[in-house]
Structures are given as structure tokens and as C-alpha cells.
Amino acid sequence: MTDLRSQLQGLWLPLVTPFRDGELDQASLRRLAGHYAAGPVDGLILAATSGEGMTLGMADLERVVAVVRDGIADSGRPLPVCLGLSGAGTSKIQDALDETADWPIDGYLIASPYYTRPSQRGLLQHFTALADHAAWPIVLYNIPYRTAVNLDNETLLRLAEHRNIVGLKDCGADRARSIDLLRQRPKGFRVLTGEDAHYYEALSDGADGAILLSAHIDTAGFAAVLTQLREGNRDAALARWESLSELTSLLFAEPSPAPAKYWLARTGLIARADVRLPMLEVSPELAARLDAEIARRTAGSSCAA
């Protein structure tokens, strides 16, 4: 385990959860973890939105963490891991924090309560109670178009002062609000964008990094955008981003993570593209588009070689 506050930057991957016939595909999951741990990613998020965490029971979650840790060990490169948790009731999430307190993780990614739509005062008390209770540091997850409630900057800035709240996955989809938060946040509080389509602009605005589903596919390309911006080479970063932006659109053309899973299965990183209901596998129309892009990229790689 690592110091999450210092590690929460750069390119993080919200790892998909492979299934086979409705069950966790442990062999594919271990292969995935080892593959990405050996590449240019700075951390993994498990069982969040991209990992279909809402469909996973506690036994599944524990097995996912254990298998991913084995895969990381195979790579020989230490990598921090955060576990995604969500729910509508504070006490239920506290129970999950208790149950996972001795698991080999480095922290939690916790979304705002869904459906209940609490006030800002309620959100403040909710996350404060969780942070007081948690054995590991917490990264807040603000994604109002899924939870129907938005963490205002005033609330976020108060939560950012808590010693056990170390950062934010920002999916607020409001660039001006994000820039204001980056300007006012306390020292050491990390902000990573979770909006794949806004990756370049978020980094340009001062975000510390990103948590991107699309980075499952061209991990090196997404990492290069970040590296080039850090080195001050904005033209190269923008050119690289423009070559990636259409990929992000394709991977979100239907509900995620089905398109990414299809791509990973077609390229052999996972055995099957299975998802759990209420998610469905990609339509034949999108499958054809994905196949065409895979073929195009494969041909390009062959020509480059």
C-alpha cells in the first residue's frame, strides 16, 4: 500500500471487470491487471462505474481486489489501487468500509448518494461521516448526471480540509466550476478529471491527471498527452489528443463499459465481452464500427513496424 495523497496524479485506469457466463473471469482479470500495471498508468480504480461495481456483491469485490493484486505482483511494478463504493445510505457504506478495512487497497473512490438527492449540508455530513469512519483515504466522486446531485465547490472545499479526503474524480461537466475549484483547493488536494472527452482541456486547466475508461485502448497515447503537457509541448499534446478524441466518442457510443469490453475481447486481453444486466453487449452496428477501427489501428501499427 502507498501514500495515496502523493500517488493520486497522472493517468489512472478504471479497470473493467471481466465476466464469463455471469461469473467473474479471474484469469482475464489477472491478465488485465498485469498488462496495465506494466504500462504507463499510475493507478487502478476497481469496481466503480467502468467496473460494473453496482452489479458486484461483497464476495465479488473481495475476489476482484485479490486477483488484481496478484496481477500487479506479476508485473513486478507496485501500483496503487482504489476500490469503488457507492450507495444511497451513509450507514450502509460505513458497513462496507468496515468489511473492507483490512483488504489490500490504498483507498476508496466514493460517489455521491444516488436517488436520495441530499442537500449540500447533507452531502457534507455524509462524506465527513464516511471519512471519519474509513480506514483508508477517500477520493470523492462527483458525477451529478448519474447521481442526480452535484457537490458544489463550497462543499468540496470544506471536505478537502478533512485529513482523510485526498482528492476528487471530477465529472461535474462544468469547466468554469472546475477551474474555480482548481484555483481555490487547498495544497495537496488532488483533482482528476473523469470525463474522457474533456481530457485535454482539464489537463490544460491544471487538473492533476485523469481517470479514463478510454485509456484501456491506447494507454500509451493518453499517457503521452499528459507527458507532453507537463513538458510544455502543448502543440504535440494537442496533436496527440486530436488523434485520440474520436476513439473516446466511439467507446461511449453505447452505454459504457460494453464498447471497451468488446474491444478488449476482440484484441485478446479478455476472453469475453460479457456484461451483467441491466447492461447489454454492444449492438451489431457498433460492433462493426469497433471492428473497423480495430482493423485500421492494427494496419497502422503494421505499417509503422
Q: Report d(CA 55, CA 188) in Å as an integer.
A: 33
The contacts found for 224-232 with CB under 8 angstroms, 24 or more apart, are 225/199, 225/200, 226/10, 226/11, 229/200, 229/203, 229/204
Q: Which residues contact 125 (CB under 8 A, 6 or more apart)?
A: none
C-alpha to C-alpha distance for 55 and 234, rounded to whole angstroms: 40
Sequence-distant (≥ 6) Cβ neighbours of residue 95 within 8 angstroms: none
Active site residues: 141, 169
Residues comprising the chain, all counted? 305
Contact between 48 and 141 (Cβ < 8 Å): yes
